[in-house]
Amino acid sequence: MKVTSALLASSAFATSADISAHLIAADGSFWQNAGKLTANADAILRSWNGKFDKEMDDAFHMCTSGSYTDQQIIWECGKKVTKATFDKNPNFNLMGRYAASQFHQLDQNGDGKLNFEEFKRGFAGFFSTVGSTLVDIFDADGNGVLEGQENHDMHFGLNNIWDEFSSDKNRKLITPILDTWVGSDLDKNVDTLSKAEMTEQAILHSVPYW
């Protein structure tokens, strides 16, 4: 992961091979984080203390008009999200793959469905995993926070990934989103990005797609 960040920083124009290496590192980190953070979802929700209640409600009703979702519904919903964002890589469906891999942890009453309370745990686990992974893959010094050159590498790396995965049309929509990722101040330091801040940014910048 550190190698990839340095590799991106060393080149103004990352090649496809660079991006592939980067995505492989991101993928490994994502699934490691997913298991750990989903198991910790109740604590994450407590720490949010109602902060993202509206976003969770909106996300739930984006995927279903009923009172529950299941793996199939989330898979189809994830395909729609992928089409609106990473349209050049229709198989990406990170949301669908996350739900499929973590479903056993989320479906606490074992009925094969996620009611809203169970869905909220998935929402917390998924976005915390995205936020933590984005820090991990660009955190060259491994201190758990992005700062200085790491912020630059993160912007640059995400722009390259979006170029690879998304059409020009969507790219124009996404550029301003990427430009605002530095600036969250949950830790009262606008120059750094913590995992909690990246998680918050990932949620807030996903809202327009719901």
Stretch that binds Ca ion, among 69-77, 124-132, 133-141, 201-209 (CB under 5 A): 133-141
For Ca ion, give the closer residue by CB, 136 or 165: 136
CB of 86 to Ca ion, least distance (A): 26
Q: Is 136 a residue that touches Ca ion (CB under 5 A)? A: no
Based on the shown chain and the rule CB under 5 A, indicate whether residue 107 belongs to the binding site for Ca ion.
yes
* Of the candidate residues 72, 109, 167, 180, the single one contacting Ca ion (CB under 5 A): 109
Q: Which residues contact 174 (CB under 8 A, 6 or more apart)?
A: 85, 162, 166
For Ca ion, give the closer residue by CB, 103 or 165: 103
Which range in 76-84, 90-98, 139-147, 198-206 contacts Ca ion by CB under 5 A? 139-147
| Least spacing, CB of residue 146 vs Ca ion, in Å | 6
Identified binder of Ca ion from the candidate list 42, 76, 117, 141, rule CB under 5 A: 141
Asked if residue 29 lies in contact with residue 36, where contact means CB atoms within 8 angstroms, the answer is no
> Residue 192: phi, psi to the nearest 5?
-125, 160
**Interaction residues for Ca ion, span 142-161 (CB under 5 A):** 143, 150
Residue 111 touches Ca ion, criterion: CB under 5 A: yes
Contacts with Ca ion: how many residues (CB under 5 A)? 9
**CB of 119: closest distance to Ca ion in angstroms?**
9
Q: Which is nearer to Ca ion, 142 or 208 (CB)?
A: 142
Given the rule CB under 5 A, which residues bind Ca ion?
107, 109, 111, 113, 118, 139, 141, 143, 150
